[in-house]
Structure 1
Amino acid sequence: MKSISSFIILFFLTFTFQAQEKKWTLKECVKHALENNISIRQSQLDLEISEIDKKDAIGNYLPSINANVSNSWNTGLTQNVTTGVLQNQTTRNLSAGVTVGVNIFNGLSNLRQLQRAKLSRMASMYSLEKMEDDITLFVANAYLEVLVNKETAKVLKEQNQVTQEQFTRTQDLVDAGVLPQGDLLEIKATNADENQQIIIAENAVRLSLISLAQTLLIDDYESFDVVDETYGVPVNEILQKSPQQIIENARKERSEIKIAESNVELAEKDVQIAKSGYLPSLSGFFNYNTRESGANRFGQGGIDPNSPSQVIGQVESTGEAVVAPNFALSTLPPLPFFEQLYLNDGISYGLQLNVPILNGFSTRNSVQRNKINIQRAEYQLEQAKLDLESNVYQAYVDAQGAAEAYQAAEVAVESQELAYDYAKERYDVGLTNAFDFSQSKFRLSNSQSQLIRNKYDYIFKLKVLELYFGVDAKDIKL
């Protein structure tokens, strides 16, 4: 029993440790964001609503069927629904019916509503695609920021390791009387400064991880971490294309243009729907109804003893009266429930034509209002194209500038490495002091950190440009 308990405890400790050690890849971060981001969920709800609107438009083609039933009690002078006679009574009356209505023609409104619902669904899909692109790019940028901070911290730690090794060697030389005490103090100051920079860099890593976790809606900030991946600089094929080529492709592929175009089509369809109000509408109906009453009925009984006969006519030739037996009226109980429903039922059916003549200019004003909306949508489309062109040029210039900055940073690192090696050689033989040597190492560390930042900035801006060219955000690889 003890061994089983130990195994269970070990299992859960191992599981907990593995869960805490999980590190997220960029692909996992993007996938998680697309599944959980609130803005994307809202866009998905908009898409669901557009699906319901489409079902509503399809439902307009179907006939309407409505059933009704009413059961009431009346007291006082009321009409007997089975005899039509007014009498003082307390009675119960039931009526029931089924009505079917069919919209035969309503100015093509149903057809245009269905077409509009389909357009609205497409616009919702484009909005969802744009939101996914934006979130993917935002997550990629946050992820790259973490990697930049991690690599920067790594470089600082490597440089500090060199400083510590140099401190040990300098200590030996100072103890041997080869170097002055000031060189040792200079290296101590350099080590302290580097330790401060390492702390700042590690805080930047922590903050960037928290920012990424918040973007992904992950609450466990303490254990959240990303895979320490090192990305190479991609081939800049996209920069081989001209800005105009990218703009032309972006106008065909980008969601913001498709959204603006869909809005124009929706506005045009709204005008057509409004114009349907000028046309007549034709509908058909069919109704079945029946009734039942709990009131007593009057029926023919036996011969009235007080007046056994009654005159019903006269012989024209002789003037002799024609008599017949006089039957007394008697009160009878109501007929059975279903028999009454059978005897009292009826149907009605017909067509109804409505011709619009004057409705206070409502239809005309609706048409004019929607025509204005077309112009507004066209202006928005034109503005979207201008914004896209401006954004593409900006992204193109940014990518070119990032490429040049990265190349310059590479040259700077190479130069600083040579300068550092030269300074180290001079320091080792006592031809330079510790201050000059520390400055050389400081410049190398700065150039390496700048190279890291320029590299990831260049990668990100290339990906932005690829997005404008029409590459799906989910297919972009770093």
Structure 2
Amino acid sequence: MKLSWKTIVLLCALLTTAGWSQQKLTLKDCIRIALKQNINIITSENLAEIADNNYLSSYSNILPSVSTSFDASRRTIGPRESIEFQPVGIDSAGNTIVQRVSVLQDKANLNSHSFSLSVSQNIFDGGGWWNRIRRGKASKNAAFHGMNAQINQTITTVAQNYLDLLKQEKILEVNQLAVQRSQDNLDKTQKMFEIGSVAKVDVYRARVNLGNDRISQISQRNAVHQARQRLNISLGKDPNEPLEIEKNVQFNFELPELATMLEQATADQPELMRQQMDVRTGELDVAISRSVFVPRVSGFFSYNRSNSEFEKIYNNFDRNWTTAVGVSVDFNLFNGFQDMVNYQNAKIDLKNKRLALEDYKRTLKSDVSTLYQRYRDLQEIVEINQQNLEAAREEYRLAEERYRLGSGTSLDLREAQVNLTDAERILVSAEYDQLIAYTQLQEALGSVQSALERL
């Protein structure tokens, strides 16, 4: 069978694509993908770019405004009749004699051409222009910190979903071991029944145990599927896209004292810095709304050229022109309390932002303390479960031996098997829950990016 070169190229491309799709991703790989494709990060980057543009536009309040215009028009007046009084003589008393005469005027065309240049400059507006520039900068910084907060949140979400997928896969392996143990017990019980060592009810009981373990395995397989979908979504991918991840992840780091971490959180947490910038923008909003209560002073200059003939606009520059230069003072005396309402609302908004900041500080301290304690507790729980697992293994071994010798019952064997499976499952959950608590704690500290870079 001969293949054309086009077919060979197509097959190579498909094999390459399949290879990449089956490539196992590390946690760092997943984070890199999310930073490029996650919708929330892209949105926060766009908002930061908008804030940067708004900061540039805030300088428009102090820079001069320059405009120019070019006008050309042709006005046509149709024929019309008008009444005029024309002198026709002088009477005997020397008075002029006038006569009412109807005059017909022909159609007339009037051309008009003009060019103008105007410049206006804000001189004083109660500090409004300066505060708008500072507000633009504060909003820009707030958007930047908000983008960093979103990046940290996305990295944490990806890490949680990655670790949760690993946990669900490990638990599935535990369930598979449970199914294998139940199958082995069924086979042994069947042989023991055939030689008369146990009753038929033990065989039925072993079959029920195997069925229950298989049901748990099927349910856990669905949990793995859902965990893989959540990870795909956090990566900005289709939820049903094939995804394989590396299974060896170790977070072997010692945490500093709680007081040290609380200081770090108040210094590095991007969401905290964003809310601090929000308070700063609120302060500047109050200053801006207060600036309208003072007169606004501006200067202006204009240059205009006009004539009915186009050529005379753009030559003989010493003729056909007018200029104006001056200073204007504007002061709003009353506009239906609108300025006062804006000022009062700005002060209320500032109070709310300060309250939100203080509330977030308290919540942040609580979160750091809670996550720190949870990490320590899970660390202790893992150590306890490791001991429990060793004990459960020995219990199961002894139960098997007693059942084989006829001194133990199938119920004792099943109880020991369930205890072993539970110990394995609890240990897996505790180990990965500890890793998840570590990533959540690092996000609360504002250092999740640097912490996961050390993996």
TM-score (normalised: structure 2): 0.84
Question: Of the two, which has the highest radius of gyration?
Answer: 1
Hey, what does 1:358 align to over in structure 2?
Answer: 333
Change (3 A) 1:425 1:268: same
Displaced runs of 4 or more, over 6 A: none
Q: State the distance in 2 between where 1:420 and 1:437 align.
A: 7
Are 1:290 and 2:305 matched, yes or no? yes
Q: State the distance in 2 between where 1:176 and 1:357 align.
A: 107
Partner of 2:24, secondary structure, is coil
CA contact (8 A) 1:101 1:283 kept: yes
CA contact (8 A) 1:288 1:345 kept: no
Deviation of 1:435 (Å)? 3.1
CA contact (8 A) 2:379 2:434 kept: yes
Hey, what does 1:301 align to over in structure 2?
Answer: none
Residue identity matched to 1:268: E
Are 1:40 and 2:16 matched, yes or no? no
CA contact (8 A) 2:163 2:435 kept: no
Q: Which moved more, 1:422-431 or 1:144-153?
A: 422-431
Query: After superposition, where does 1:212-223 map in structure 2 within 5 Å?
Result: 212-219=231-238, 221=240, 223=241
CA contact (8 A) 1:279 1:355 kept: no
Q: State the distance in 1 between where 2:22 and 2:7 align.
A: 22
Residue identity matched to 2:66: I
Unaligned runs of 5+ in 1: 79-86, 295-334
Counterpart of 1:132 (choices 137, 142, 151) is 151
Report how many residues are paired. Answer: 426
Partner of 1:62, secondary structure, is coil
Q: State the distance in 1 between where 2:78 and 2:257 align.
A: 93
Change (3 A) 1:288 1:194: same
Hey, what does 1:195 align to over in structure 2?
Answer: 214
Q: State the distance in 1 between where 2:311 and 2:282 align.
A: 61
Deviation of 1:423 (Å)? 1.3
Deviation of 1:8 (Å)? 3.0
Q: State the distance in 2 between where 1:403 and 1:30 align.
A: 25
Query: After superposition, where does 1:150-299 map in structure 2 within 5 Å?
Result: 150-219=169-238, 221=240, 223-232=241-250, 234-235=252-253, 237-238=254-255, 241-242=257-258, 244-293=259-308
Are 1:447 and 2:450 matched, yes or no? no
For each residue in 1:55-112, what CA deviation from the matched residue of structure 2 results, as whole angstroms up to 9, or x when unmatched?
111233332221112222233499xxxxxxxx97322211221222233333332222
Residue identity matched to 2:447: V
Q: State the distance in 2 between where 1:152 and 1:215 align.
A: 22
Percent identity over the alignment?
23
Query: After superposition, where does 1:41-60 map in structure 2 within 5 Å?
Result: 41-60=42-61
Residue identity matched to 1:117: G
Deviation of 1:373 (Å)? 2.6
Q: State the distance in 2 between where 1:259 and 1:124 align.
A: 7
For each residue in 1:344-378, what CA deviation from the matched residue of structure 2 results, as whole angstroms up to 9, or x when unmatched?
43241422131537345655554443233322222
Deviation of 1:14 (Å)? 1.8
Q: State the distance in 2 between where 1:48 and 1:447 align.
A: 52
CA RMSD of aligned residues (A): 2.9
CA contact (8 A) 1:292 1:344 kept: no
Q: State the distance in 1 between where 2:114 and 2:194 align.
A: 116
Hey, what does 2:451 align to over in structure 1?
Answer: 475
Change (3 A) 1:388 1:339: closer
Counterpart of 2:384 (choices 399, 403, 408) is 408
Q: State the distance in 1 between where 2:67 and 2:311 align.
A: 26
Are 1:371 and 2:390 matched, yes or no? no
Partner of 1:2, secondary structure, is coil
Hey, what does 1:70 align to over in structure 2?
Answer: 71
CA contact (8 A) 1:33 1:215 kept: yes
